[in-house]
């Protein structure tokens, strides 16, 4: 079965600074990778996903992520963080052959003024 | 616009009470999921349903049951609530097949006293 590790529980960045959130997955076949964001008191919203093709994927709100098979990673990036990006971010891995979606423990992002 | 709604945003119940959490989606999705979200543990799957009256156990089904009598509605039942079931509960839905984008409701925060 697949699994996901998000090594950083909490990250603080200054507004306007760049951001990278780490995600490592474990899965024997081709993974289907997702990043979701959860604003306080809300459900999860899809930021972006990778199924195949170009390993650099663009998402909503100016986010992008890069799939690196050799490193089993799918890190999320944003060049300039806004105060409204403060939220919790979840990486998830799914499989084409079943409904099993595995979520990481999440990374909480704090944005300093 | 895609919509998943949950019957309550906040619930307070007593130990031993029977608790019903309801989820409704308006997207004609085949799959529906119930997750439990706890700090540091991410999302853990309780049950999912891939069709009316069909269900499969997730990772943590103990103490929970589910009901899906209509395609759009998926209920989570705590037969006898306990304090260790205090948590955030998230419902999600997807189209049929594996590795699909999950659409989440806003969550129900349950406190069991």
pLDDT of residue A62: 96
In this predicted model, what pLDDT tens digit does every residue of B15-26 receive, in sequence order? 999 999 999 999
Phi-psi region of A61 (alpha: psi -120 to 50; beta: other; left: phi over 0): left
pLDDT of residue A100: 80
Q: Which member of B50, B92, B98 has the closest CB to residue A96? A: B98
pLDDT of residue A73: 96
pLDDT of residue A53: 86
Q: Which of B2, B29, B42 to mutate to test the interface with A (most CBs of A within 10 A)?
A: B42
Are residues A104 and B4, on separate chains, in Cβ contact within 8 Å?
A: no
B109 burial type by CB count under 10 A (0-12 exposed, 13-18 middle, 19+ buried): middle
Taking residues A40-56, what's their average pLDDT? 91
In this predicted model, what pLDDT tens digit does every residue of A53-108 receive, in sequence order? 889 999 999 999 999 999 999 999 999 999 999 999 999 998 877 778 899 999 99
Residue B105 to residue B16: CA distance in whole angstroms = 26
In this predicted model, what pLDDT tens digit does every residue of B65-111 receive, in sequence order? 999 999 999 999 999 999 999 999 999 999 887 778 999 999 999 99
pLDDT of residue A28: 77
Q: Which of A5, A44, A91 to mutate to test the interface with B (most CBs of B within 10 A)?
A: A44
CA-based nearest residue to A83, from A108, A42, A47, A111? A111
**Residue B48 banded pLDDT, cuts 50, 70, 90:** very high
Taking residues A5-29, what's their average pLDDT? 95
Are residues B99 and A45, on separate chains, in Cβ contact within 8 Å?
A: no
Minimal CA separation from B97 to chain A, in Å: 7
B64 CB neighbour count, 10 Å cutoff? 20
pLDDT of residue A42: 85
Q: Which residue of B has its CA nearest to A2?
A: B99
Residues of A in contact with B90 (CB under 8 A): 43-44
A79 CB neighbour count, 10 Å cutoff? 11
Minimal CA separation from A35 to chain B, in Å: 10
pLDDT of residue B46: 96
What is the three-class DSSP state of A89?
A: strand
Tokens 């891995």 belong to: A93
pLDDT of residue A10: 96
Residue A99 to residue A90: CA distance in whole angstroms = 18
């Amino acid at each position: 079965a697949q699994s996901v590790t998000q090594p950083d529980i909490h990250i603080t960045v200054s507004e306007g600074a760049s951001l990278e959130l780490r995600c490592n997955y474990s899965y024997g076949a081709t993974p289907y990778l997702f990043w979701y964001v959860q604003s306080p008191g809300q459900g999860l919203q899809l930021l972006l996903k990778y199924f195949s093709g170009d390993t650099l994927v663009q998402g909503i709100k100016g986010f992008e992520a890069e799939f690196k098979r050799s490193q089993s990673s799918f890190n999320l990036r944003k060049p300039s963080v806004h105060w409204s990006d403060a939220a919790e971010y979840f990486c998830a891995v799914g499989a084409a052959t079943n409904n099993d979606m595995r979520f990481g423990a999440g990374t909480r992002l704090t944005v300093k003024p | 616009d895609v919509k998943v709604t949950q019957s309550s945003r906040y619930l307070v119940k007593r130990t031993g009470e029977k608790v019903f959490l309801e989820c409704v989606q308006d997207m004609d999705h085949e799959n529906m999921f119930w997750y439990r979200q706890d700090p540091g543990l991410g999302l853990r799957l309780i049950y999912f349903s891939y069709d009316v009256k069909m269900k499969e156990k997730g990772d943590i089904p103990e103490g929970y049951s589910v009901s899906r009598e209509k395609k759009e509605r998926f209920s989570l039942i705590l037969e006898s609530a306990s304090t260790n079931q205090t948590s955030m509960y998230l419902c999600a839905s997807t189209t049929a097949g594996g590795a699909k984008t999950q659409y989440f409701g806003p969550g129900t925060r349950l406190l069991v006293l």
